[in-house]
Amino acid sequence: MIRLRSCDLSPKGQEILQFFQTRVVGQEPAINKIARAMEIAEAGFGRKNRPLLSLLFLGPSGVGKSLIPSILAEFRFKNRSAYTRLNCPDFVESHAIATAQGSPPGYAGFLDTDHHDEEEIWQNSYPLLSQWNIDKHEFNYLYRDSLNGLERKMGEMVDQLELARAAAREIKKTKGKDGDDYKKALQIIRDLKKNVEEIKDEMVIYHPQLQSYQSIVTFDEIEKGSIELRNIFLSIAESGTLDLKDGQTTRFYNSTIFCTSNTGSEQITKMLSGKGFGFYKEIETDDLDPQLYEQIQKTAMAEAEKFFTAEFLNRFDAVIVFAPLFRKHFEKIFDLEFNYLLNDLRDASFPLAIEVTREVKDYVIDQATKKPEYGARELKRKLEQNIREPLAILKNAGQIAKDDKVTINLEDGKPVFYKDSGSVATTADIK
């Protein structure tokens, strides 16, 4: 017998973990658990006729719970928006469920499959939990370019076919249909028709109903949605399917399901008052004690058990509690968000070399932590207010041009912008 080497994570699991570590700040215990849970999904060892993975995220607001699905979408499909998100506060009223599950016959929004073109039915993104709507993200990632190419080729062939038919009609009119010219024209038409049918057959291969695509579905702030919405999740988690109101069935066998909840965040905030930073005031260690994190987990789970039924909580493969953030985490989040800003400028064809002084960075972080209950989201807002918005105004006013070098200093308690148009660069230093 050969003894197998034990390891915490496989190479694939390590790749997932490292990808998350560079994008999610201050949540090492959480992302380690996520990476381990993803091992089951990657190996295909999940329970039969169930989603690949179902995870519940608990913890305070603004610590990264809602960020995880977008990071996984970026990892899988190279696009942070490539997932299906249900903002559960939008589903407080029971009639709003039709947006997610569709409408029954006779009600507004019902799609009658007997009276609609197949392509319209296939591409229809209503309701949110339709098969096409959850599958379209991987479909677009894998095949959209190929399908677009085939569609262009099909259009060219159809145009050629119309020209060939017109030429054949003209030959028949002027030379009659018994000559070689007309026979050759008919053969060209037959060849073009054959080419069109071959392209159609190739396009059918990409039809979502003929393949099983991976998907990511998020129920964000699920505690704020209606009971009926939680029942939808129970159906998906239990059987891996959901019967829509129009009679169609959506399969979630290759889906990763995330639910987020702020249940217990108020109790955690009270418990940790004076022991943290970001939500709480700074301490010397600027870190989270393992015993303190264990208390946070117990508090979050106790409140979740009060709010949710045991049936609901038992449907998850894992319940993961996110930790509060500290000063060092806000430093890293500032750097990440600032780099996203630089990327946005490049995408807008307006690259700038921006140098932000240490004083400006501290100023923005200090401004953000005046409202600790908003967490890292407030830091993003302050970055917008103090850097992105002034840059947009300076551009619109004609004071800066692309490839300018811009320096941001702190003067009289406010950020002040300078430029050196003689220096051309494409990167920025954060000091």
Q: Which among 64-68, 168-172, 180-184 has the top mean pLDDT?
A: 64-68
The residue behind tokens 């990808």 is 19
pLDDT band at 101 (very low <50, low <70, confident <90, very high): confident
Q: What is the pLDDT of residue 312?
A: 94
Tell me the whole-structure pTM to 2 decimals. 0.76
- According to DSSP, the β-strands at 215-220 and 84-87 are parallel
Determine if the peptide bond prior to 11 is cis (ω within 30°).
no
Please give the mean pLDDT across all residues of the chain. 82
Q: What is the pLDDT of residue 359?
A: 94
Packed helices 376-383 and 358-368: angle between N→C axes, nearest 10 degrees: 130
Q: What is the mean pLDDT of residues 10-18?
A: 89
* pLDDT higher than 70, residue 178: yes
Distance separating alpha carbons of residues 130 and 136, to the nearest angstrom: 10
* pLDDT higher than 70, residue 51: yes
* pLDDT higher than 70, residue 110: no
pLDDT band at 41 (very low <50, low <70, confident <90, very high): confident
356 pairs with which residues across the strands? 408, 430
Q: What is the pLDDT of residue 73?
A: 94
Lowest mean pLDDT among 95-104, 117-126, 306-315, 391-400: 117-126
pLDDT band at 280 (very low <50, low <70, confident <90, very high): very low
* pLDDT higher than 50, residue 305: yes
Q: What is the pLDDT of residue 33?
A: 84
- According to DSSP, the β-strands at 249-251 and 84-87 are unpaired
Distance separating alpha carbons of residues 126 and 390, to the nearest angstrom: 39
Q: Does domain 327-420 have CATH number 1.10.8.60?
A: yes
Model pLDDT for residues 383-399, shown as the tens digit of each residue = 999 999 999 999 999 99
Q: Which among 143-157, 318-332, 410-424 has the top mean pLDDT?
A: 318-332
Fold of 11-107+212-321: Rossmann fold (3.40.50)
* pLDDT higher than 90, residue 361: yes
Lowest mean pLDDT among 3-7, 119-123, 156-160: 119-123
Percent helix, percent strand, percent coil in the chain, to nearest 5 = 55, 10, 35
Q: What is the pLDDT of residue 259?
A: 96
pLDDT band at 422 (very low <50, low <70, confident <90, very high): very low
Q: What is the pLDDT of residue 417?
A: 93
